[in-house]
Amino acid sequence: MSALGDTTDRLSKAEAVNLPEALAVISETVWWVTVVDGTLIRYHHDIYDHTMNELGPAERKLIEGILAGLRFARTCMGYYVDPADFIQPQQNALGGDAPVACWTWREVPAPVSAALPQRSKTWETGRYLHYRAYLANRPVGETISRATAFLTQLASRCAAS
């Protein structure tokens, strides 16, 4: 959680950086969100489910969609798709670069999964659809903040148990 907090802080404070620096901050943040999420699911499954079930239906769907979309981005970013293809830099009102957290997720093409077994195709397609529905064309900082808020609440419950 400490590393996740550090990377989300760097993301929220990153301004006027070049594309490689922005991609590094975003990639690292996505990595930590998905690592913390996976760890909490694996080792605190009951608390994870209980916390998720306490959310209203719309918020639960949103959080689940964002986390699945981030898992897709983590899996593909740098392996199948250039990280720069995931991110759309934005400009501020003065025509300069907006803070990195305001940059948006781009739509990316569906993964080519012809060689994968059917189960893997279904898994990959599902996460891709979540990426398109919950991340594409939305600010990076907004999606990361929502995921991090949920994970922070969940981690504090796990620590208290």
What's the confidence (pLDDT) of residue 75?
Answer: 87
What is the longest distance spanned by two Cα atoms in the chain? Answer: 50
Whose CA is closest to 5, among 48, 36, 41, 51?
36
Other beta carbons within 10 angstroms of residue 35's beta carbon come to 13
Q: Is the pLDDT of residue 129 over 70?
A: yes
C-alpha radius of gyration, the chain, whole number: 16
Residue-wise pLDDT for 39-94, tens only, equals: 999 999 999 999 999 999 999 999 999 999 999 999 888 777 788 999 999 988 88
The tens digit of pLDDT for each residue in 80-120 reads 778 899 999 998 888 778 999 999 999 998 877 656 667 77
Here the tokens at position 66 are: 């964002």
Residue with tokens 């093409």: 109
Domain boundaries, the chain: 2-160
Confidence of residue 33 (pLDDT cuts 50, 70, 90): very high
How much is the pTM? 0.92
